[in-house]
């Protein structure tokens, strides 16, 4: 039996045990939803690199490890959480440990209409009908094996609501902590609803906490479903800074309604095997979408970003900029699909993926893919792979800046455009500092 | 008087082709030397070798800077030890602000000298003072290094860096090229501002024009990788009048060209 099949069977047998322990309080629809997803996962199994979508990403490192389901509450203190969270946003913090909401670690800040973040587990008990409707509208069950796996174990997560016609002044900061003394899988589900005319930004911050004497191999498998209703404006910041032992899979599905504006900022600084799928459906006229990404791979990391922008309706625009930095023997994959449907006249779509290779063993596979079925559209794409500009390096050195610092500075300059586009200057500063710290250690 | 820079029988090549074919030159503290010569004579190669440009290989000879073997030092160490090269083509660096760059640069030099780093406030004050000298618009500090700067702004930015870093030996590689007369005056003003008895300069230029504003103590003419002629400031005027072809018709090497 192959490693992938064994891994699938482990997940399936874990599922039986998991399902057996569900409380009687849970609404019946949730069990049905999970069973359907379990069946789908059983059929799909773990993806093989023979599949086009997984051609450059072998999930073997992930399949080789036996992950435990989250159990009990790991001992994490509020101080520890504050240490690792962005200090500026500590005032409104929603903490999830191994996928489960941890109210004792959180400092929720209420809006006029109530809390902007609710635990899905709590919602299942208190307003099952609402949860059922929200999940039914989610687009995540589209044949992605890891999305199916996430749904099969759906138990808790976050519902974020930006209330109608409200400008949420502060950032809504969700922290997802992977923790445990044994390899542990956490599968949070995030549902974001930006109601009509609302404005705000949501930070989805993924970290892992190392325990002394532990190998810290975790698996973080997240599914995020986003709806941006008419005239709403939402910035979603996904920060992936798990430890280098943590495998990360993230599926984000977005639907945009009429005249909505959505920007996603995917910042990948950590993890071992990282695979992100981001799909945006421009479902109504006048929707505007920005996808920004920055990924830094070091050592033997693999960072794979698959994006899809689906222009289904006329007069929508999308722009995408993913910048990759690959040091040492790290590998990067970028596949950006843009579909312009026959109805989507007056589409304006651009896509760009410049990459910089810092290490001799580093590599990137980049593939833009435009599928245009309408004739009155403006579309452009481009990708590039470069190294540090030797002339710029010499220039900085002639000004007294050491070779290592000069390389780090040039790399930081390369990343600047993406970091500067973050929705808050404090985020720009924080991400810049994290990047600097990692570049210093990247053997540049 | 001690020697600031002594170049002895310098041979250097790029991509296997020999460009400098035996340069001898001595620069004492406080002196301003002009190095003139036609295109391809090796002027920029000489500047590059002094700053440590990796593309050039020194095949023979040596360079003593304040008595030390210059060729053993990395480019950044040369800079910290007081050598400054104003680039003929200043490099555009996206994503890094001029302000951040100049502060990092100045603080690298200060750290090397065992001085405390300047904080943002003190640095800003110092920069403002220096910017006045080269008449530089304030917004250039918050923009990316040289990105979208006009030719004149780039050259002024070079002189601004020189004013900030206060080198012991400044090498200006065709800083005058491509400047209109107003910009040339501003650049010359910055250079003159730095003239001091303990600071030396090597002005590399194709034209005599800059030397109307920055009067050199010595003028050398480089031809085919060797110093063909050396003299006082009047040599520049003679060259301007007769053109570089004049050199080819007269035998190279005058007594002044040889170091004493």
Residue A204: name the closest of A247, A235, A243 by CA. Answer: A235
Interchain pair B79, A400: CB under 8 A: yes
Partner-chain contact B75 A415, CB within 8 Å: no
CA distances from A57 to A48, A292, A301, A354, B80 (A): 9, 22, 11, 20, 46
Is the distance from CB of B84 to CB of B170 less than 8 angstroms? yes
**Residue of chain B whose Cα is closest to the Cα of A392:** B91
Helices (H), A108-236: 120-126, 128-137, 145-152
Rounded to the nearest angstrom, the minimum Cα separation between A323 and chain B is: 13
Residue A205 near residue A239, CB atoms below 8 Å: yes
Q: How many whole angstroms separate alpha carbon A181 and alpha carbon A354?
A: 39
> Which residue of B90, B96, B109 is in closest CB contact with A409?
B96
Q: pLDDT band for position B254 (50/70/90)?
A: very low
A30-56 in b/e burial notation, b at 16+ Cβ within 10 A?
beebbeebbebbbebbbbeeeeeebbb
Distance CA A276, CA A222 (A): 10
Residue A22 has pLDDT above 70, yes or no: yes
Instruction: Report, as an integer, the average pLDDT of B178-193.
Output: 89
**Which pLDDT value is given to residue B251?**
56
Q: Determine the distance in angstroms separating the CA of A391 from the nearest CA of chain B, rounded to an integer.
A: 7
Would strands A363-372 and A331-340 be described as parallel, antiparallel, or unpaired?
parallel
From chain A, the residues in CB contact with B90 under 8 A are 395
In percent, the amount of chain A with pLDDT more than 70 equals 94
Q: Contact at 8 Å (CB) between A276 and A246? A: no
Interface of B with A (CB under 8 A): 51-54, 74-76, 78-80, 84-85, 87, 90-91, 93-96, 101, 104-105, 108-109, 112, 144, 161, 165
| pLDDT for the residue A29 | 92
Lowest mean pLDDT among A90-104, A259-273, A294-308, B122-136: A90-104
| CA end-to-end span of chain A | 42
Distance from the Cα of B67 to chain A's closest Cα (Å) equals: 20
Distance of alpha carbon A146 from alpha carbon A44, whole angstroms? 9
Smallest CA-to-CA distance from A53 within A308, A248, A298, A373 is with A308
Strands (E) across B66-199 are located at 68-69, 83-86, 93-97, 144-145, 169-173
Chain centroid offset of residue A15 CA = 24
Contact in structure between B14 and B55 (CB atoms under 8 Å): yes
Angle at A41 between CA A39 and CA A43, to 5 degrees: 70
Those residues whose C-beta lies under 8 Å from the C-beta of residue A82, and which sit 6 or more positions away, are A90
Mean pLDDT of all residues in B57-70: 96
Does the distance separating the beta carbons of B161 and A396 come in below 8 Å? Answer: no
- On chain B, the residues whose CB falls within 8 A of the CB of A406 are 76
Domain ranges of chain B: 5-95+167-257
Task: Kindly determine whether residue B80 and residue A417, on different chains, have CB atoms separated by under 8 Å.
Answer: no
Q: Map residue A383 onto helix, strand or coil.
A: strand
| Per-residue burial over A69-89, b = 16 or more CB atoms within 10 Å of its CB, e = otherwise | bbeeebebeeeebeeebbeeb
- Tell me the average pLDDT across A383-393: 96
| pLDDT of amino acid A141 | 59
- The CATH H-level (homologous superfamily) assignment of domain B5-95+167-257 is P-loop containing nucleotide triphosphate hydrolases (3.40.50.300)
Q: Give chain A positions within 8 Å (CB) of B166.
A: none
Q: Tell me, what DSSP letter sits at residue A167?
A: B
- Chain A interface test: which of B96, B117, B161 (most A C-beta within 10 Å): B96
* Of the candidates A84, A93, A91, A87, the residue with the CA atom closest to the CA atom of residue A117: A93
The sign of the CA dihedral B129, B127, B144, A263 is negative
Would you state the pLDDT for residue A305?
98
For residue A389, which residues of chain B lie inside 8 Å, CB to CB?
91, 93
**Is the pLDDT confidence value at B258 over 70?**
no
User: In terms of CA atoms, which chain B residue is nearest residue A394?
Assistant: B53
Within a 10 A sphere around the Cβ of A389, how many other Cβ atoms?
Answer: 17
Chain B residues closer than 8 Å to A405 by CB: 104, 108
Q: CA distances (Å), B99 to each of A2, A207, A412, in order?
A: 57, 33, 15
* CB-nearest partner of B53 from A394, A409, A414: A394
Q: What angle do CA A240, A241, A244 make, to 5 degrees?
A: 115
Q: What is the pLDDT of residues A112-150, one digit of tens each?
A: 777 789 999 999 999 999 999 998 877 655 679 999 999
- Contact (CB<8Å) B75/A394: yes
Mutation site for B-interface testing, chosen from A398, A418, A435 by largest number of B Cβ within 10 Å? A398
Band the pLDDT of A109: cuts 50, 70, 90: confident
The rounded radius of gyration (Å) of the Cα atoms in chain A is 21
H or E element at residue A394: helix A390-397
Core vs surface per residue A266-288: b (16+ CB within 10 A) or e: bbbbbbbbbbbbbbbbbbbbbbb
CA distance, residue B246 to nearest chain A CA (Å): 35
Residue A87 confidence class, pLDDT cut points 50, 70, 90? low
Q: How far is residue B250 CA from its own chain's centroid? A: 28
Neighbouring CB atoms inside 10 A of B233's CB total 16
Model confidence at A443: pLDDT above 90 = no
Q: What Rg value do the Cα atoms of chain B yield, rounded?
A: 18
Q: Which residues of B touch A394 (CB under 8 A)?
A: 53-54, 75
pLDDT for the residue A178 = 87
Q: Are B90 and A395 within 8 A, CB to CB?
A: yes
Is residue A9 very low, low, confident or very high in pLDDT (cuts 50, 70, 90)? very high
pTM of the model: 0.91
Report pLDDT for A182: 84
What is the model's pLDDT at position A383?
Answer: 94
Q: Which of B76, B93, B94 sits opposite A397 (nearest CB)?
A: B76
Evaluate whether A248 touches A271 at the Cβ level (below 8 Å): yes
Say if the Cβ atoms of B108 and A391 lie within 8 Å: no
Which of B93, B159, B162, B171 should we substitute to test contact with A (largest number of A Cβ atoms within 10 Å)? B93
B253 forms beta bridges with: none
> Residue A73 pLDDT more than 80?
no
- Percentage of chain B lying above the pLDDT 70 cut: 95
Largest pairwise CA distance in chain A: 71
Average pLDDT for B190-195: 93
Give the span between the Cα atoms of A270 and A221, in whole angstroms. 14
How far is B163 from chain A, CA to nearest CA, in Å? 12
CA distance A397 to chain B (A): 5
Alpha-carbon gap: A416 to the closest alpha carbon of chain B (Å): 5
Short-list B224, B218, B225, CA closest to B257: B218
Residues of A with CB under 8 A from a CB of B: 389-392, 394-403, 405-406, 409-410, 412-417
Please count the CA atoms within 13 angstroms of the CA of A415 that sit on its side-chain side.
31
Across B127-144, b (16+ Cβ under 10 Å) vs e yields beebbebbebeeebbeeb
Grade residue B250 by pLDDT with cuts at 50, 70 and 90: low
Q: What pLDDT, in 10s, does the model give residues A391-436?
A: 999 999 999 999 999 999 999 999 999 999 999 888 999 999 999 9
Binned at pLDDT 50, 70 and 90, residue B256 comes out as very low
A276-328 pLDDT tens trace: 999 999 999 999 999 999 999 999 999 999 999 999 999 999 999 999 999 99
Per DSSP, B226 falls in state E
Confidence of residue A209 (pLDDT cuts 50, 70, 90): confident
How many contacts does A have with B, using Cβ atoms within 8 A?
75
pLDDT over 90 (residue A83): no
CB-nearest partner of A413 from B53, B80, B94:
B94
Confidence at residue A215, expressed as pLDDT on a 0 to 100 scale: 57
Q: How many other C-beta atoms lie within 10 A of the C-beta of residue B121? A: 8
Write out pLDDT tens, residues A210-225.
654 455 689 999 999 9
Residue B187: per-residue pLDDT: 86
Which of B52, B54, B95 shows the shortest C-beta gap to A414?
B95
CA dihedral (A373, A375, A376, A379) positive or negative: positive
Average pLDDT, whole number, for chain B? 92
């Amino acid at each position: 039996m192959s490693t992938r099949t064994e891994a699938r069977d482990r997940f399936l047998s874990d599922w039986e045990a998991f399902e057996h322990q569900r409380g009687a309080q849970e609404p019946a629809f949730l069990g049905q939803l999970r069973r359907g997803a379990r069946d789908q996962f059983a059929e799909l199994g773990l993806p093989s690199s023979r599949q086009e979508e997984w051609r450059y990403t072998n999930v073997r490192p992930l399949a080789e490890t036996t992950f435990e389901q989250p159990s009990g509450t790991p001992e994490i203190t509020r101080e520890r959480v504050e240490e690792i969270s962005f200090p500026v946003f500590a005032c409104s913090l929603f903490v999830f440990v191994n996928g489960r909401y941890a109210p004792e670690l959180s400092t929720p800040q209420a809006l006029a209409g109530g809390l902007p973040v609710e635990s899905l587990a709590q919602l299942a008990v208190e307003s099952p009908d609402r949860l059922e409707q929200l999940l039914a509208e989610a687009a995540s069950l589209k044949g992605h094996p890891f999305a199916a796996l996430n749904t099969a174990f759906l138990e808790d997560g976050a519902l974020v609501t930006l209330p109608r016609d409200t400008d949420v002044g502060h950032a809504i900061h969700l922290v997802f902590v992977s923790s445990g003394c044994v390899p542990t899988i956490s599968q949070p589900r995030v549902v974001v609803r930006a109601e009509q005319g609302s404005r705000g930004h949501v930070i989805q911050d993924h970290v892992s906490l190392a325990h002394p004497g532990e190998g810290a191999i975790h698996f973080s498998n997240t599914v995020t479903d986003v709806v941006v209703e008419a005239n709403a404006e939402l910035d979603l910041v996904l920060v992936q800074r798990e430890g280098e032992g943590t495998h990360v899979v993230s599926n984000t599905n977005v639907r945009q309604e009429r005249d909505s504006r959505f920007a996603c900022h995917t910042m990948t600084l950590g993890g071992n095997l990282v695979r992100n799928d981001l799909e945006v459906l421009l479902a109504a006229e006048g929707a505007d979408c920005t996808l920004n990404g920055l990924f830094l791979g070091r050592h033997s990391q693999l960072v794979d970003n698959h994006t899809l922008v689906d222009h289904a309706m006329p007069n929508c625009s999308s722009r995408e900029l993913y910048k990759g930095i690959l040091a040492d023997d790290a590998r990067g994959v970028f596949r950006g699909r843009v579909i312009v449907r026959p109805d989507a006249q007056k589409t304006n779509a651009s896509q760009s993926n410049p990459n910089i290779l810092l290490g001799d063993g580093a590599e990137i596979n980049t593939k833009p893919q435009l599928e245009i079925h309408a004739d009155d559209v403006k579309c452009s794409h481009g990708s590039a792979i470069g190294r540090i500009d030797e002339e710029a390096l010499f220039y900085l050195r002639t000004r007294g800046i050491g070779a290592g610092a000069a390389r780090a500075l040039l790399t930081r300059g390369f990343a600047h455009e993406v970091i500067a586009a973050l929705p808050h200057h404090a985020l720009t500063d924080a991400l810049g500092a994290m990047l600097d710290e990692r570049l210093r250690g990247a053997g540049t | 008087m001690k020697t600031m820079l002594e170049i002895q029988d310098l041979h250097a090549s790029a991509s296997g082709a020999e460009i400098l074919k035996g340069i001898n030159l001595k620069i004492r503290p406080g002196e301003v030397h002009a190095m003139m010569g036609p295109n391809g004579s090796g002027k920029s190669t000489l500047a590059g070798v002094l700053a440590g440009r990796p593309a050039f290989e020194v095949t023979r000879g040596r360079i003593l800077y304040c008595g030390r073997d210059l060729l053993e030092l990395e480019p950044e160490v040369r800079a910290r030890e007081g050598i400054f090269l104003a680039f003929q083509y200043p490099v555009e660096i996206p994503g890094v602000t001029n302000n951040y760059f100049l502060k990092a640069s100045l603080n690298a030099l200060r750290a090397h000298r065992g001085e405390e780093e300047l904080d943002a406030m003190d640095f800003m004050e110092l920069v403002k003072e220096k910017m006045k000298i080269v008449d530089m618009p304030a917004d250039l500090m918050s923009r990316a290094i040289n990105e979208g700067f006009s030719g004149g702004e780039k050259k002024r930015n070079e002189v601004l860096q020189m004013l900030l870093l206060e080198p012991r030996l400044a090498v200006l590689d065709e800083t005058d090229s491509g400047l209109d007369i107003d910009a040339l005056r501003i650049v010359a003003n910055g250079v003159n501002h730095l003239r001091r008895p303990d600071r030396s300069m090597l002005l590399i230029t194709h034209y005599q024009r800059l030397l109307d504003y920055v009067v050199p103590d010595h003028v050398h003419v480089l031809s085919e990788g060797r110093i063909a002629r050396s003299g006082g400031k009047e040599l520049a005027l003679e060259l301007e009048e007769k053109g570089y072809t004049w050199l080819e018709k007269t035998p190279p090497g005058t007594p002044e060209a040889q170091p004493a």
